[in-house]
Amino acid sequence: MSDKSHDPNQMTGAAMIVRALIDHGVTDIFGYPGGAVLPIYDEIFQQSEVQHILVRHEQGAGHAAEGYARSTGKPGVALVTSGPGATNMVTPLTDALMDSIPLVCISGQVPTHLIGNDAFQECDTVGITRPCTKHNWLVRDVNDLAKVLHEAFYVATSGRPGPVLVDVPKDVQFATGTYHPPRKSDVHRSYAPRVKGDATQIRKAVSLLANAKRPVIYSGGGVINSGPEATKLLRELVEVTGFPITSTLMGLGAYPASGKNWLGMLGMHGTYEANMTMHDCDVMLCVGARFDDRITGRVDAFSPGSKKIHIDIDPSSINKNIRVDVPIIGDCGNILGDILQVFKAEAKKPDIKSWWQQIAQWRARNSLYYKKSNDVILPQHAIQSLFELTRGKDTYITTEVGQHQMWAAQFYGFEEPHRWMTSGGLGTMGYGLPAAIGVQVAHPDSLVIDIAGDASVQMTMQEMSTAVQYELPIKIFILNNQYMGMVRQWQQLLHGNRLSHSYSEALPDFVKLAEAYGGVGLQVHKPADLEGAIKEMIAVKRPVLFDCRVAALENCFPMIPSGKAHNEMLLPEQANDEATAKAFAAGKALV
């Protein structure tokens, strides 16, 4: 037997954690110290390969890690203590699960012998996070730690990506054991996500595509998760087939907004042309999207006349909400490659000229129309100006949740994937500011803007302090209408205009607030001043809170009233009181 004290793989659990991070190429982690993770923080202190970003609240660490992951395609890592540290991670973990974001959370736990004793800062972390992670582990033996950490990274990043959590009791962090670098046998034999699509199904899909008269491609976040190759292939498929393409909120940027086949986003606040194309199509190719209720509207009236092809890496996404004709399970990059190959070899571009003429008529309805004003800034106009003034720059956009998020999706044109970070599935207010921090850490020289609302941004405002500490020049572009705009919009449409608790009576002075944090505050009221102020914001190389005072009562259209079909959209010019009352008459119970 060799002397174990000279074996470089003998180390404490805490050292293993840092070593595993390094072995998985992690350079930045987001966290907050506490009693149950002190041994890990001690290791972090004594090395320089992994940079730790100290947040102000664990939720901020989680969203920052999400922003980091979404903008890079690499897993985001968060480190939190036991008890409240872990419970504060529940929101970001759930958010990452809904949006398939690879996230590795390491949480401290009370020592093994105290588990179950209601010890100080104890909670059943694996129990609490079981339904909001792809998988989680409680490590009771230091000699299992290396294997579990490597498996955690693999599970988070492979198949349909998602969040994982490794709970490490403090005594395991102190204990010495044997570390090993990542190896194949670290992973459950029961976990083997399917990557390659079935050849017969691919042929069926190509045959449908080749004979389509009224086709549409509907792409989602899965294309972006699959990596740059999938984006490239999607663009090529659009080029080769000449088909119109729309996308979910999560999929924006996979096909460029300036592309000639682009219909705009679909769904509840999607464009009229995108939704009508979906409704009237005869062949639908869904790539890496999951037919969720914000996309489909009323499911029994969803695209009634079409054959549907669904590419998804998660078999449970198939036939969950909408029955499809040709499911293809596997990685969308891989399958798009196969479809292209077969299509190019055996089919030619279908003639869909009359379909495009029909789409042009829908487009002519100009569903994103809004009336500009010289007196007050329209929120749509603010986003358009922001887009024009940042076009061509190396820009990343995050958002909070609400009207501003939908306007950002409608009016900011994304040309590339990984440039748009938003909380789609869970709809987490307070996501955007910490996410912007994560993005800026990953891309220190880029322009990172959080398009925010005055209500959402206050949910995680404390992370301004993080931005200032690490000199992260994030720009928080607040569309300030003094309301929880989307809540108010639903109250106006569905609850007899009784605006119950959706008005912010006591907003902070955002300029002073920025200055109090050590950042820069800007405020603009007049449309004439908007452009200059945005330019100033971009020029400042420090964190900025930009208080953009916008028309308070503007609402977000077009809109599919919940529970209605795609062809029952409410367009902005129709959204007078009577029409809205009628459209929403039956919808009170809807979400």
Partner 1 sequence: MNQPASAYFIEDRHDPNETHTLAVLVQNEPGVLARVIGLFSGRGYNIESLTVSETEAQKHLSRITIVTTGTPMVIEQIKHQLDRMIPVYRVVDMTQTKRSIERELAMVKVRGQGEHRVEALRLADAFRARVIDATTESFVFEITGNTDKINQYIDLMRPLGLVEVSRTGVAAIGRGPEGM
State in angstroms the smallest separation of the CB of 293 from partner 1. 5
380 is catalytic: no
Site for partner 1 in 154-173 (CB under 8 A): 155, 160
398, 421 Cβ separation under 8 angstroms:
yes
101 binds partner 1 (CB under 8 A): no
Closer to partner 1 by Cβ: residue 188 or 391: 188
Would you count residue 116 as binding partner 1 (CB under 8 A)? no
Residues 17-56 that bind partner 1 (CB under 8 A): none
Stretch that binds partner 1, among 48-56, 127-135, 233-241, 281-289 (CB under 8 A): 127-135
- The reply on whether position 508 binds partner 1 by CB under 8 A is no
Question: Tokens 């809004």 identify what position?
Answer: 370
| Minimum gap (Å) between residue 203 Cβ and partner 1 | 23
CA nearest neighbour of 140 among 164, 104, 116: 116
How many whole angstroms separate alpha carbon 311 and alpha carbon 195? 11
| Residue 242 lies near partner 1 (rule: CB under 8 A) | no
- The gap from C-alpha 568 to its chain's centroid, in whole angstroms, comes to 28
Please report how the helices 228-241 and 332-346 are oriented relative to each other, as an axis angle in degrees rounded to 10: 30
| Minimum separation from the CB atom of position 144 to partner 1 (A) | 11
The CA radius of gyration of the chain, in Å to the nearest whole number, is 25
Taking the complex as a whole, how short is the minimal distance between the CB of residue 266 and partner 1, in angstroms? 16
Q: Is residue 232 near partner 1 by the rule CB under 8 A?
A: no
Closer residue to partner 1, CB minimum distance, 59 or 136: 136
Q: Does 427 bind partner 1 (CB under 8 A)?
A: no
Where in 532-591 is the site for partner 1 (CB under 8 A)? Answer: 562-563, 586-587, 589-591
Per the residue annotation, which of 10, 121, 482, 523 is the catalytic one? 121
Q: Least separation, in Å, of the C-beta of 586 and partner 1?
A: 4
Tokens of 235: 């663009």
Binding letters toward partner 1, positions 186-215, x by CB under 8 A: --xxxx------------------------
Size of the site for partner 1 (CB under 8 A): 33
Print the SS3 string covering 453-488.
ECCHHHHCHHHHHHHHHCCCCCEEEEEECCECHHHH
Q: Distance from CA of residue 50 to its chain's centroid?
A: 25
Determine the 3-state secondary structure of 575 from DSSP. coil
Catalytic residue among 16, 30, 43, 58: 58
Among 127, 181, 444, 532, binds partner 1 (CB under 8 A): 127
**Closest among 497, 479, 478 to 488, alpha carbons compared:** 497
**Least distance (Å) between residue 349 CB and partner 1:** 35
User: What would the two tokens of residue 200 be?
Assistant: 């017969």
* CB contact set of 328 (below 8 Å; sequence gap of 6+): 197, 198, 201, 202, 205, 309, 310, 311, 312, 335
Residue 496 binds to partner 1 (criterion: CB under 8 A): no
Bridge partners (DSSP) of residue 79 are 31, 106
Q: Determine whether 564 is an active site residue.
A: no
φ/ψ of 159, rounded to 5, equals 60, -140
Question: Quick one: which of 140, 56, 69 has its CA closest to 105?
Answer: 69
What is the rounded CA–CA span in Å between residue 216 and residue 271? 14
Q: Which is nearer to partner 1, 190 or 357 (CB)?
A: 190
- H-assigned helices in 500-543: 510-517, 527-539
CA distance 573 to 575: 6
589 Cβ neighbours under 8 A, 6+ residues apart? none
Among residues 120, 196, 471, 515, which one is catalytic? 120
Least distance to partner 1, CB of residue 537, Å? 39
The verdict on 300 binding partner 1 (CB under 8 A) reads yes
71's enclosing H/E stretch is: helix 58-72
Q: Does 505 bind partner 1 (CB under 8 A)?
A: no
If one asks whether residue 314 binds partner 1 (CB under 8 A), the answer comes out as yes
Rule CB under 8 A: choose which of 46, 185, 316, 576 binds partner 1.
316
Shortest distance, position 128 Cβ to partner 1, whole Å: 11
Q: State residue 539 phi and psi, 5-degree precision.
A: -70, -30
Establish if 185 lies at the interface with partner 1 (CB under 8 A): no
Active site residue 170: yes
Q: Which residues are catalytic?
A: 58, 120-121, 170, 486
**Chain residues that interact with partner 1, rule: CB under 8 A:** 126-127, 130-131, 134-135, 138, 155, 160, 188-191, 293, 297-300, 314-316, 318-321, 323, 562-563, 586-587, 589-591
